[in-house]
Structure 1
Amino acid sequence: MRAVRTVIRWLLGFIVLFLVVSLAFNALTYFNFNFHYGFLKLKQAAIATGFYLPAYYSHVLAAGLILVLGLFQLRTSISLRWRRLHRFLGKCYAYGILFFAAPGGLVMSFFINRGPGVLISFILQSVCWFAFTALAIRAIKHGKFEEHGQWMWRSYALTFAAVTLRLYVFLFTSSYDMSAPEAYGIIAWLSWTINLFAVEIYLRLKSSLMP
């Protein structure tokens, strides 16, 4: 039974790593700074305002990096064995969110023409993402290691929403019209609330098993 759990854990880990790295590499393709490349072809009106591109590059390029960094930061074995590396990567992850990814995502939210439900979802997600990461920094500065870890898990739940959003869109495109604000709105909310719910369950189970 233990062997089966180990295989399942490694399989899930591989799937998550594959999804994260794939999305991170996709983000790096935007380093060509071609304003008509990929997704940006659809946002020419937003680009014309002068506000969208700085927010877009801040969000997308930083998010690609912190997706990978956060995944390794949550590994307890790494944080205990290589503490200096853990601190350095943790600062890159946290400040990448606070100064680039979250503010960029917040500004981008106002250029998504998918209805008020989607707008509120992405604004709230960006605010929570910033807040959870800031609380993680605050906790570690006060020596509250367990609390720091909990807030980092919540922060990464929102970071990982970049993966789950695209996964849900892929899964439901064949059954629902993703151009409809209602359909996309549901997926926008589910992409990060389910992640947070799963993390809260994990943290509670972990806390209950601790002596």
Structure 2
Amino acid sequence: MKSTNLGQNKDVSKSYTYIYNALVVFTLLLIIYYVVTRAFPKLIPTEANYGEYYFPRAIWLFPHVVLGIVATLIGPFQFVTKFRNKYLKLHRRMGRFYVVSVTLAGFAGMYLAATSDISLPYTVGLFLLGVVWATTAIMAFISIKNKKIELHKEWMIRSYVVTFSFVTFRVVEDILMSFQVGTYFEVLTLMSWACWAVPLFIAEVFIQGRKIKS
């Protein structure tokens, strides 16, 4: 009977591993899509590239994009247990760099949102995105400084979920526009909230669900 249970547990463990690996690969593909199609082009801060809407605020948009790319690429490495255990000092340095990048990019994002003229809901949605983005990273840093490892992990999950919201925003925007769901401005307004609020809610259910199960 015990051997049967052990076999079942191994099968479940393998299934979880396959699902996890599939999610990692899918996430990496989305990151590559976002960085190549949306982020990298913004690294050339010319009027022709930025357009009339962004070019007057290029001094804010450029560091926002650069630091966002850094945070997006660094984040996944912070969750790999083998990497963290083998390169602990590098993990800590990358973590500090991540927090600084997110905090500065978050403040730049708040300015960009506050100076947007698309609509009030759009402005508020993106401004709060900047607030939540910076706050979750700072809370993760404060938690680890106070040696609250589990709290640090939880805040890092929340933080990277918000970091990933930029990928979510553009990917879902492209999908909705390709199917002609709503107008362009309606989609922008929707995603200014949905790109971070919905994933953050799902992450919170996951975080608290683990505690209930344990």
The one-letter amino acid paired with 1:191 is C
Q: Tell me the residue number matched to 1:71.
A: 76
Q: Tell me the residue number matched to 2:51.
A: 41
> Offset of 1:112 from its aligned partner?
2.8
1:50-199 equivalent positions in 2, closer than 5 A: 52-99=57-104, 101-173=105-177, 174-180=179-185, 182-199=186-203
The one-letter amino acid paired with 2:77 is F
> Offset of 1:68 from its aligned partner?
1.1
**Could you list the runs of 5+ residues in structure 1 that have no partner in the other structure?**
none
Which deviates more, 71-80 or 61-70? 71-80
How far apart, in 2, do the equivalents of 1:97 and 1:4 lie?
34
> Offset of 1:42 from its aligned partner?
4.4
Which deviates more, 115-124 or 4-13? 4-13
Q: Tell me the residue number matched to 2:42.
A: 30
TM-score (norm 1): 0.86
Residues 178 and 59 of structure 1: is their aligned pair in 2 closer, same or farther, counting only changes over 3 Å? farther
How far apart, in 2, do the equivalents of 1:75 and 1:202 lie?
18
Secondary structure, aligned partner of 1:85: helix
Secondary structure, aligned partner of 2:85: helix
| Structure 1 residue ranges, 4+ long, deviating more than 6 angstroms after superposition | none
Cα contact 2:176–2:187 (8 A) shared by 1: no
How far apart, in 1, do the equivalents of 2:26 and 2:15 lie?
17
Number of residue-to-residue matches in the alignment:
201
Q: Tell me the residue number matched to 2:32.
A: 21
Which deviates more, 6-15 or 142-151? 6-15
How far apart, in 1, do the equivalents of 2:187 and 2:95 lie?
36
The one-letter amino acid paired with 1:41 is G
The structure having more radius of gyration, on CA atoms, is 2
Higher helix residue share:
2
Secondary structure, aligned partner of 1:188: helix
The one-letter amino acid paired with 1:150 is E
Over the aligned positions, Cα root-mean-square deviation in angstroms equals: 1.9
How far apart, in 1, do the equivalents of 2:99 and 2:115 lie?
25
Residues 170 and 197 of structure 1: is their aligned pair in 2 closer, same or farther, counting only changes over 3 Å? same
Cα contact 1:133–1:155 (8 A) shared by 2: yes
